[in-house]
Amino acid sequence: MNRTHGIARAALLMLAMAALPSPAMASKVGWMEDVVRRVVKASDPELARSGRVSGRLFEGSSEEGLSALARRSDALAGSTRSADEAAGTAMDLRFNRLVGNADPELSRTFRALDPAEKRLVLRMGEAAERIARRYPDNAPEMIRRLGVEGMTAVRVYGDDVAEVIVREGPESINVLRKSGREGWGFYVGTVLQHKRKLAAAGVLGLFLADPDRFVDSAGKITEFAVAKFAEAGIDLAGAIGSGAAKGLERSLADRLGFLGLSGAALRWAALIGAGVVASAALLVILGMPFRWLTMPFRLVGRGLRATVRSS
């Protein structure tokens, strides 16, 4: 009997040990955190001296292992992955650019990773670089709060999404996962403008769970969204009108951030340019002469010439 109990205890012990993350899995995630810390320190030497970059950055992720985290990251990136990520080209060169050539052991470890794991490490490193440059005072805290999926969203969709994800929580990532930029623009430009009313009516939870029911793949608002907003006492057409400029500005900011460009002046220049293009397209659709678009400028020019002649 004692021998039977001993065998049973040994079997249970082996099962428990098998359920624990292996040292290799944990060490891979720890190695990735070392890479991210190195990138953050290189982006901001003053932050490196402060000691705030020490400690865990992806708390709890070591239990999953690098391969599992890579699958989650790939699932979020989906078809929006950049061409170099999708093709898997020059990943070693990108890694060397991130960490430099001072530590050849890092490069050897990176080369030994699976392709999916390489993509994950590059996304985390490149996202950390963007966060450290844009939010140098809060970079370590933001990285911890974003987590692997939030950092993936930053790398794929631009660093402007970071503030919203940190402020609104990981549930906001589901908007990007399910509806991409189209749903995100509606979320930032319209939903968050009426967050309290929508939450009180239970509409906010519906949107976060299934944003595709509110915005279709072309970015158009659905009849379901109009009806649900009306239940919350919100005229969706009015909400769109008041939030259109903010939504367009945010979308342009996301795109400029994704291209590595930033600045309020640049965003407003892009916004004005988009307005001019939209006005020109409207004239073409209505069959009106294109010169109508330049009429205000021509009238001002005539007034200036008349003033000069009279003086």
Of 157, 184, 208, the position where a domain reaches its end is 157
Rounded to whole angstroms, how far apart are CA atoms 79 and 271? 27
Of 130, 157, 184, the position where a domain reaches its end is 157
pLDDT: which is higher, 45 or 89: 45
What's the domain range around 282?
264-310
Which 3 state secondary structure label does DSSP give 215? strand
Residue with tokens 């930033």, as numbered in its chain: 262
pLDDT: which is higher, 120 or 253: 120
pLDDT at residue 251, as a whole number: 52
The single-letter DSSP state of residue 243 is H
Q: Locate 139 and state its tokens.
A: 């970079």
Rounded average pLDDT over 58-75: 81
**Helix, strand, coil percentages in the chain from 3-state DSSP, rounded to 5:** 80, 0, 20
Q: Which amino acid is at 260?
A: G
Q: Which amino acid is at 140?
A: P
12 in any annotated domain: no
132 in any annotated domain: yes
Rounded to whole angstroms, how far apart are CA atoms 194 and 232? 9
Report how far apart, in Å, the C-alpha atoms of 111 and of each of 27, 101, 114, 146, 157 are. Answer: 16, 14, 8, 26, 26
Q: Which amino acid is at 192?
A: L
Task: Show Cβ contacts of residue 30 under 8 Å, excluding neighbours closer than 6 positions.
Answer: 62
Burial group, residue 263, by CB count within 10 angstroms (0-12, 13-18, 19+): exposed
In total, how many domains does the chain have? 2
Of 285, 251, 290, the C-alpha closest to 267 is 251
pLDDT digits (tens, 9 = 90+) for 68-109: 989 999 988 875 555 555 455 588 888 888 887 767 888 889
185 in any annotated domain: no
Rounded average pLDDT over 28-51: 80
**Crossing angle of the two packed helices 236-258 and 264-286, in degrees rounded to 10:** 120
259 in any annotated domain: no
Residue with tokens 């001002």, as numbered in its chain: 300
Mean pLDDT of the chain: 75
Q: Locate 204 and state its tokens.
A: 């906010």
pLDDT: which is higher, 31 or 293: 31
Q: Is the pLDDT of residue 217 over 70?
A: yes
Of 132, 157, 182, the position where a domain reaches its end is 157
188 in any annotated domain: no
Of 104, 86, 29, 87, the C-alpha closest to 95 is 104
C-beta of residue 95 within 8 angstroms of C-beta of residue 107: yes
146 in any annotated domain: yes
Q: Please state the φ and ψ torsions of residue 280, each to the nearest 5 degrees.
A: -65, -40
pLDDT: which is higher, 304 or 209: 209
Rounded average pLDDT over 296-303: 63
pLDDT digits (tens, 9 = 90+) for 189-201: 999 999 999 999 9
169 in any annotated domain: no
Q: Is the pLDDT of residue 11 over 60?
A: no
Rounded average pLDDT over 7-15: 47
pLDDT digits (tens, 9 = 90+) for 154-194: 999 988 999 999 999 989 999 999 888 889 999 999 999 99
pLDDT digits (tens, 9 = 90+) for 242-279: 444 444 455 555 555 545 555 555 555 655 665 665 55
52 in any annotated domain: yes
